[in-house]
Amino acid sequence: MTASSPAQRERAEGLALPVPRGKLTRQAPLAPLVWFKSGGAAEWLFEPKDTADLQAFLAALDPKVPVMALGLGSNMIVRDGGVPGVVVRLGKAFAKVAALDGVTLDCGGGASGILVSSTARDAGIAGLEFLRSIPGTVGGFVRMNGGAYGGEVKDILTTCDVVLRSGELATLPVSALGYTYRHSELPQGAIVVAARFRGVPGEPAAIQADMDRISASREASQPLRSRTGGSTFKNPPGHRAWERVDAAGCRGLTLGGAQVSEKHTNFLINIDNATSTDIEALGEEVRRRVKESQGVELEWEIQRVGKA
């Protein structure tokens, strides 16, 4: 067990925060932790040592203090005023993946899609290849019903472990999550610490070939080497978001240091030290133009958090 440093303990006690065994940082910059590389700081950034540490911290934390989970920061705009309360970031202790049997993986909430899909391949489990194409962690996949290339988390999830805002650890079946397109009914402030994904038996070589196909498709069609946030808008019923954005004449549209990608118009990119205000305002301008020109209401898929 590693004790908190005296300085950390003094800061935490000064604001009546619990003292965890993990790392607690005040006014932690979040821009380096998110793909857009923009935005303000977390009032507190908590990196728990393990699940028990997270439980104890949340149980002792004033219920009025907001709590938010942060994964790889790939589908998020952190506003320039920063995020009040506590941002929880799951580290290596939560990034383990292991096969339970011939078709099921037990995955930590901090594990990446690449690790999950690669472990599935090695275990001869097919059906999880699409996770390789989603730049995030298991916790984010579960919360947002992540999906791509014909697959969605609701189709492979069996159960997940969450630490509720109260600190209680609960195991929830997929039926309890109320999944719809890119949405779940996980309780506010709950942190996904583990999940079980079920596939079907497959041949590792065939699984790898499918993952190679997905990787090549993403590389060809998406601005993966830019400072971006992934898919910006949900696909409206009967439409593809990028087609609506393109039809509104928004390809390459800029605002401040932000731009609508010319390669894939459902991606916003930071081309010149854009602020999060630039990025969000550009997204709103795109929504306005699509609504005005086509009568289609685009909904944000990217999470927008914090204070303007």
Selecting among 231, 261, 287, 289, the annotated active-site residue is 231
Cα 150 from Cα 135, distance rounded (Å): 16
Backbone angles phi, psi at 195, to 5 degrees: -155, 150
Secondary structure (DSSP) of 20-50:
-SSEEEEEEE-GGGSTT----EEEEEEE-SS
What DSSP character marks residue 65? S
* Closest of 238, 237, 294, 239 to residue 266, by C-alpha: 239
Selecting among 182, 196, 227, 287, the annotated active-site residue is 182
Pairing of strands 151-152, 200-201: unpaired
Q: Is residue 43 flagged as an active site residue? A: no
Q: By the 8 A CB rule, do 147 and 130 touch?
A: yes
Helix, strand or coil, per DSSP, at residue 303: strand
CA distances from 146 to 75, 168, 274, 286, 294 (A): 11, 25, 27, 23, 27
Q: Is residue 301 flagged as an active site residue? A: yes
Residue with tokens 């065994």: 21
| CA gyration radius, the chain | 20
Secondary structure (DSSP) of 203-230:
-HHHHHHHHHHHHHHHHHHS-TTSEE-S
How far the first Cα of the chain sits from its last, in Å, is: 39
Across the chain, the runs of DSSP E, i.e. the strands, are: 23-29, 41-47, 67-70, 76-78, 83-89, 97-99, 104-108, 125-126, 147-148, 151-152, 157-163, 169-173, 191-198, 200-201, 227-228, 254-255, 258-260, 268-270, 303-305
- Residue numbers annotated as active site: 182, 231, 301
